Structures are given as structure tokens and as C-alpha cells.
Amino acid sequence: MVVVDSDAGRVSGIGEADEPGWEVDPDDEWGLAVVATVGRQLRLRREAVGMRAADFATAVGYGEDMIYKIEAGKRIPRPEFLDRADEVLRAGGLLAAMKEDASKVRYPKKVRDLAAMEARAVEIGVYETSNIPGLLQTPEHARALLRSWQPAYSPEDLERRVAARIARRGIYERSPAPALSFVLEEATLRRRVGGTMVRREQFERLLEVGQFHNVSLQVMPMESAAHPGMSGRIELLKFEDGTAVGRSDGAFNGRPVTDLRQLRILELRYGTIRAQALPPGESLALVEQVLGET
């Protein structure tokens, strides 16, 4: 990755192989357009001040080949690079202003779409049958979990997905805060995802989030009776205008639904699951117990 020297304000020279996860997804049309625009503006600004690519590369601490890749829209520029480029090329904030869109491009389109819906939702409910919900995961837990998937992700794609998952946690900083409810199976707490420290940090994160005033965290105990969530994950998002979207692995072929009748079915299932799960206080006590056993 690129690091900034806090004393000199310079971006350290880093090789392309040391920057995983910043390639452009060829199937992401919006992403390709954003990166092409950033690269074009960068090249035009560099040429406008009469700076050769080699001199610019030296000034920002990148290789000349990397500069050409960024200008050609073949590489997603990091935020630190755009800050330094803006300074070197005296762009007056034009290049630095592109950091937000350039960073979003790094995340898979499917994750961006989900994050956009979560950012609009006033109420979110998630039941997860086999994993701790993504919005609750620590970076190390997410990394350990994604490493177990087959076929295996490349190191670059793995880091891209971890970063995208963790970026969604910005939902906790929203104001006004959305109402969030989570139900997870006790088995997901018992499953050994990562080493001891990874598991302990994950349990501590659950205890932290479970104390938020807008969050309800519940655990479905292993000795519970059969319930409507056993067919798979359920997610419900409700918006300020009264509309909603839901999805369940065990209903409507797993497709997102907005039809009121279909949403009522998912709401009924989710409500029943919440009723059968442990209350929030007992759920946090169970998480503390598992933490103590780890």
C-alpha cells in the first residue's frame, strides 16, 4: 500500500505488486467511467503544467509505469496519491475532490449497491443462519471467513471484499441513526473462524455494538425449536418514504422483493424468529459467556 511520510508530506515509493485490490473491475461500467475520468483529468493537469510523467512519478513517489496505468484508467488511484498529485500539480483541490468516487470503485458493484440501500434505510433487520452478519464483523473475522471460501479469492480480490465489507460500518455513524436489529445463531459464535484473538475481538465487537441505543442484537440458542429462518438468511430494509425491500435465501428464489404481499411474508418470518430468539440482554450475556470460554 501507499504510505505518507508525516514529516516530509511525501508519498513513499511503492511498487505495483505491493498495492493489491486497486485494479479496475472490467464488468463495472460506472467504475470504469470514474477511473477513466480521474486518469484523464490527471493527465490533462500534468500536461498543463508542463511536467513529464517521469518527473511527476518522482515527485509523488510512484513508478513511471504506474503513472501511465492510472492516467490510462487501468488502475484505481489511492486517496493519498490524489492528495499528493493535487499538491504537486497545483490543481486547487480538483484532483483531491475525486477521492471519494475513486475509493468507491474499489468495492464490488454488488456491495456498493447494498451499501447505498443501507445508507437510505431507516430500519434494517437481518437474520443470519451460518455467519455473523457482515455489518457486525471485524476486519480480521471477515478476512478469516472469506479465506475459507471456495474457489479461493485472489489476495487482491480478498482485500477488496474485506475493505468493502468494513466500509459498510459507516452506517453506525449516521444521524439520525437507523434502527438496526440482528439475529444470529449461537452456532456462529461457537464456530472457530480465525484464531483466538480474532474470535475474542469479534465477540468484543458484538458486545460493543449490542450496547448501541439503536441496535437490537439477539442470539438464537442452539436448543431452540425449529423456526422459519432455517431455510436461510433474511434481510429487510425499510425506507423513509414507506417503501421497503427484502430478500431471503428460502423464499422467492432468493431475489430481492418489493411487493407488499411478499414483504409481509418475510416480515412474518423475521418477526417469528425474533420472538423465538433470546432477548437482547440474555443474548449479550451469552456472547460474554462464549468470550470467557475463548
pLDDT for the residue numbered 53 = 94
pLDDT for the residue numbered 111 = 65
C-alpha torsion sign, points 271, 272, 274, 279: positive
Nearest-angstrom CA–CA distance, 139 and 249: 25
pLDDT for the residue numbered 266 = 96
Other residues' Cβ atoms within 10 Å of the Cβ of residue 96: 16
pLDDT for the residue numbered 108 = 66
Nearest-angstrom CA–CA distance, 101 and 241: 27
Residues recorded for the chain? 294
CA angle, corner 264, sides to 278 and 241, nearest 5?
100
Please state the pTM of the whole predicted model. Answer: 0.68
pLDDT for the residue numbered 154 = 87
Other residues' Cβ atoms within 10 Å of the Cβ of residue 93: 9
Predicted confidence pLDDT, tens digits, the chain (294 residues): 333 333 333 334 444 444 444 777 777 788 889 889 999 999 999 999 999 999 999 999 999 999 999 999 988 888 899 999 999 999 999 999 998 888 777 766 666 777 778 889 999 999 999 999 999 999 999 999 999 998 998 888 888 889 888 888 889 998 999 999 999 999 999 999 999 999 999 999 999 999 999 999 999 999 999 999 998 999 999 999 999 999 999 899 888 899 999 999 999 999 999 999 999 999 999 999 999 998
Nearest-angstrom CA–CA distance, 269 and 227: 8
pLDDT for the residue numbered 161 = 86
The sheet that has 121-128: what strands, in order across it? 215-220, 179-185, 121-128, 234-239, 244-248
Helices in the chain by DSSP H: which ranges? Answer: 29-48, 53-60, 64-71, 79-88, 99-105, 109-120, 139-147, 155-167, 186-190, 196-209, 260-276, 280-293
Alpha carbon dihedral 181, 105, 93, 44, in 10-degree steps, equals -170
